[in-house]
Copies of this chain bind each other. A is one copy, B any other.
Amino acid sequence: MYKDMSKEQLVREKEKIRSVYDQYKAMGLKLDMSRGKPAPKQLDLTEDMLLHCLDGEFISENGIDCRNYGVLDGIYEAKRLFMPMLGVGRYEIIVGGNSSLCMMYDSIARAMLLGVLGGKKPWSKNDRVKFLCPAPGYDRHFAICESMGIEMITVPYRADGPDMDMIEDLVKKDEEIKGIWCVPMYSNPTGITYSDEVVKRFAALKPKADDFRIFWDNAYCVHHLTDTPDRLLNILDECKKTGNENMVYIFTSTSKISFPGGGLAVLAASEANINFIKDQMTYQTIGYDKLNQLRHARFFKDYEGVQAHMKKHRKIIAPKFETVLKMLDEEIAPLNIGEWHKPHGGYFISFDGLDYTAKRTVQLCKDAGVVLTDAGATFPYGKDPRDRNIRIAPTFPTVDELRKAMEIFCTSVKLAAVEQLENQK
Contact = CB atoms under 8 A, between A and B. Distances in A.
Contact of A143 (B37, B143, B283): B283
A40 B140 CA distance: 41
Contacts of A65: 40, 43
B290 A261 contact: yes
Contacts of A148: 113-114
Contacts of A260: 67-69, 286
A283 B54 contact: no
A280 interface: yes
- Among A106, A280, A285, A291, the most chain B Cβ lie within 10 Å of the Cβ of A285
Interface in A46-71: 47, 50-51, 54-56, 58, 65-70
Interface string A100-126: 011001100100111000000000100
Contacts of A283: 105, 140, 143-144, 146-147
Q: How many copies does the complex hold?
A: 2
Contact of A262 (B43, B105, B289): B289
A424 interface: no
Given A50-B58, A67-B259, A68-B37, A105 B43 contact: no
- The secondary-structure label for the interface of chain A is loop
A208 B114 CA distance: 27
A97 interface: yes
Interface size class on chain A is: 35 or more
A295 B181 CA distance: 36
B106 A284 contact: yes
Interface in A388-406: none
Contacts of A144: 283-284
A311 interface: no
28 contacts: A35-B69, A37-B69, A38-B68, A40-B65, A40-B67, A43-B65, A43-B67, A50-B291, A51-B54, A51-B55, A66-B262, A68-B261, A97-B97, A101-B286, A105-B284, A106-B284, A109-B109, A143-B283, A144-B284, A147-B280, A147-B283, A259-B291, A260-B286, A261-B290, A261-B291, A262-B290, A289-B289, A289-B292
Given A67-B259, A261-B287, 12 more contacts: A43-B67, A66-B262, A101-B284, A109-B284, A112-B113, A113-B124, A114-B148, A140-B286, A261-B288, A261-B290, A261-B291, A262-B291
Enumerate the 9 nearest inter-chain pairs by beta-carbon distance, A residue then B residue, closest first: A147-B283, A262-B291, A69-B260, A105-B284, A43-B67, A102-B285, A98-B289, A67-B259, A99-B285
